[in-house]
Amino acid sequence: MSASHSTAPVASDHQAEVVARVKAIESIMIEKGLMTTEAVDRLAEIYENEVGPQLGAKVVARAWTDPVFKARLLENASTACAEMGIGGLQGEDMVAVEDTDDLHHVIVCTLCSCYPWPVLGLPPNWYKQPAYRSRMVREPRKVLREEFGYAVADDVEVRVWDSSSELRYWVLPQRPEGTDGWSAEQLEALVTRDSMIGVGAPKAAQ
């Protein structure tokens, strides 16, 4: 990931101040015995490298191949994910919304950037931009087409779901055509992060 490899000089005094404030908070917290450098390092590593959309892809692929599991997922996404050992901070009260031939879902958080970390990892930068947050609500079809190159057919309804700290949505995309008989492991590779946000389709079967 680019952040950890950034060697660019700090851009401005303001940036230098921000960087110093983060270091200052860490050193004060450590002095007070509230955390250790090792614990912070470990969390940074987990969220940078281990938690990510590959976990959500497993859940989606299982739902595509196991109708009983899918019913449980749509009933209660948090407990269904927990069956697969997937859960944690910001994974409480998740709701999976299912795309169909007539319906396409997109997620957004209008207030901050609530996002189901355990299944999708941390949100990409654009998800947190004020422009995405406000425009997706106003003109979802247009934003999907113009900004993400994802054209939703006119006869498909688009529903935009606002995640909050109480409920965090994510999209169960449609299983790609031409994948009859595929195993969950094969299907996993077709599930993209964007398809679970609702700004893209899963990859097509090769």
Partner 1 sequence: MQDLVYGLPGGDGDVPFREPWELRAFALAVAAYHSGQYEWSEFQLSLIESIKQWEADGARAGQEPWSYYEHWLTALETVLAGSGLLSEADLDDRTRSVLATPKSANHHEPHREPVAIDPAR
Sole window of 65-73, 75-83, 112-120, 167-175 interacting with partner 1 (rule: CB under 8 A): 112-120
81 is catalytic: no
Q: Cβ 103 to partner 1, closest distance in Å?
A: 23
Question: Taking Cα atoms as reference points, which of 169, 153, 150 lies closest to residue 161?
Answer: 169
DSSP-assigned states of every residue in 57-119: HHHHHHHHH-HHHHHHHHH-HHHHHHHTT---TT-TTEEEEE--SSEEEEEE-SSS----HHH
Beta strands 157-162; 168-172: pairing state = unpaired
**Residue 49 contacts partner 1 per CB under 8 A:** no
**Residue 151 contacts partner 1 per CB under 8 A:** no
Which one, 14 or 181, has the nearer CB to partner 1? 14
Q: Cβ 85 to partner 1, closest distance in Å?
A: 19
Three-state DSSP class for residue 154: coil
Q: Cβ 200 to partner 1, closest distance in Å?
A: 8
| Positions marked active-site | 109, 112-114
Binding site for partner 1 (CB under 8 A): 1-4, 6, 14-29, 32, 34-35, 39-41, 43-44, 47-48, 89-90, 111-114, 121-126, 128-132, 135, 143, 147-148, 165, 194, 199-200
